[in-house]
Amino acid sequence: MKVPYIMTPGPTQVRENVRLARALETTNPDLDIQFYDFYKETCERIGSFLNTKNEVRILSGEGILGLEAACASLTDKGDRVLVIDNGIFGEGFADFVTLYGGEPVFFKGDRQRKIDVEALEKFLEKDSNFKYATVVHCDTPSGVLNEVDKICPLLKDKGILTVVDSVAAMGGEEFRVDNWKIDIALGGSQKAVSAPPGLTFLSISDDAFVAMENRKAPIASFYCNLLVWKDYYDKKWFPYTQPASDIMGLRAAIDNILEEGKDNLLRRHEKIASAVRAAVEKAGLSLYIKEGYSNTVTVIEVPNGIDDKALIDYMLDNFGILIAGSFGYLNGKVIRIGHMGENARADKISYTLVSLQKSLDHFGVELERNMSQVFLEYSI
């Protein structure tokens, strides 16, 4: 099988040293005490990446596991939970809240713009009786970025626990768990971290642990129970056998980030993202988002008369570039280019834009500017 350039908004390209780390010899993670140290040290490095002193855990399961685990662990029957919704994943938190017996209450925003913090503040002045609130940092299907640095302190001032899905943002956007008062921060291996899919990692505050311990009823799950992880290191006991090879790969990917430096990483993503948006607009295409652009994914409206799947297939078959469409209410309406992690490199993005332009030309769409040329002008 010939592997294409994966320029989707996750999974992303994986650097060779990460792939090689997953091929190293492994031990028995349940019985070898050295692995508990390796796991703990990896969690501490992730904590540095997330700018937090809170406890960090790595779970065996794709990023959605973290979203469900947060809701399963915090939700008691009848709990009112504020679901901040301006996208598909934002809305989707309500399904997990309902599954575990909670009552989701929506604060809905414009799906082409970031959440209006002033409107949220006015909403909370009338009703702030919520155990916790959920918010998505970057809602990947649309590419909208929310200001969790403003949203979470506002919620905590009202005594509301905060759960943030930053799976598609952290690494490409500034993210400060402690300063922003985030109780549970959720990440995944396959986005800007640029490790293979299969792992969730998350930070858990003392307030969140207290809420789990003071529940009225036991957590209605084992695999999604975050409380069972609390004292794993002292007890030298994992709830289930850890995927050692995956964690070794994640460790290498986190080390890549720390070696580059978080500030350099953020600058790289910002420069690449702004150049992509300039190239798209100057070529005469339309961005889907009107306000609140993410530095990890650009979402482009499909020109009239073009079949998104045919366009994506043509790029893959003729140029070896895999980009993404979207789903839900955006199905067939947009295409998405992921410029996160290892994807956020000028050579890869330049080739992606050349391929997109030639593919659009094949389907009869003539652009006003050379997208790759504009991108390079803005990114160098």
Cα–Cα nearest to 245, from 28, 11, 41, 66: 28
Query: In this predicted structure, what is the pLDDT of residue 2?
Result: 75
Alpha helix locations (H) across the chain? 16-21, 33-50, 64-74, 88-99, 117-126, 148-157, 206-213, 232-235, 244-260, 262-282, 308-319, 346-362, 371-379
Averaged over 99-118, what is the pLDDT? 98
User: Which single residue is written with the structure tokens 């769409």?
Assistant: 365
Q: How far apart are CA 140 and CA 89, in angstroms?
A: 8
Confidence at residue 356, expressed as pLDDT on a 0 to 100 scale: 98
Average pLDDT, the chain: 97
User: Can you read off the two tokens belonging to residue 352?
Assistant: 């992606």
For 339, phi then psi, to 5°, come to -125, 65
Give the residue among 153, 233, 245, 188 at the shortest CA–CA distance from 69. 188
Domain boundaries, the chain: 5-9+262-379, 16-259
pLDDT band of residue 3 (cuts 50, 70, 90) is confident
Extract the tokens encoding 275.
């150049």
Residue 17, strand partner residues = none
Of the candidate CATH numbers 1.20.1250.20, 3.40.640.10, 3.30.70.920, 3.90.380.10, the domain formed by 16-259 belongs to 3.40.640.10
For the segment 342-364, the average pLDDT, to the nearest whole number, is: 97
What are 186-207's pLDDT values in tens digits?
A: 999 999 999 999 999 999 999 9
The reported pLDDT for the residue numbered 264 is 96
Whole-prediction pTM: 0.97
Percent of the chain with pLDDT over 90: 98
Helix pair 262-282, 244-260: axis angle to 10 deg: 80
Q: What is the pLDDT of residue 135?
A: 98
Specify the pLDDT at position 380: 78
277-304: pLDDT as tens digits: 999 999 999 999 999 999 999 999 999 9
The predicted pLDDT at position 1 comes to: 65
pLDDT of 7: 97
pLDDT in tens, 112-138: 999 999 999 999 999 999 999 999 999
Q: Which helix (H) or strand (E) holds 341?
A: none
pLDDT (average), residues 349-354 = 98
* Residues with Cβ within 8 Å of residue 235, at least 6 apart in sequence: none
For the segment 261-274, the average pLDDT, to the nearest whole number, is: 96
Candidate CATH numbers 3.30.2450.30, 3.90.1150.10, 3.40.718.10, 3.20.20.80; the one for domain 5-9+262-379? 3.90.1150.10
Q: Which two tokens stand for residue 92?
A: 């989707």
| DSSP for residue 328 | G
pLDDT digits (tens, 9 = 90+) for 11-44: 999 999 999 999 999 999 999 999 999 999 999 9
352 to 22, 249, 339, 370, 376: CA distances (angstroms):
28, 26, 10, 12, 12
DSSP 153-183: HHHHHTT-EEEEE-TTTBTTB---TTTTT-S
**Closest CA relative to residue 106, chosen from 139, 143, 135, 77:** 135
pLDDT band at 229 (very low <50, low <70, confident <90, very high): very high
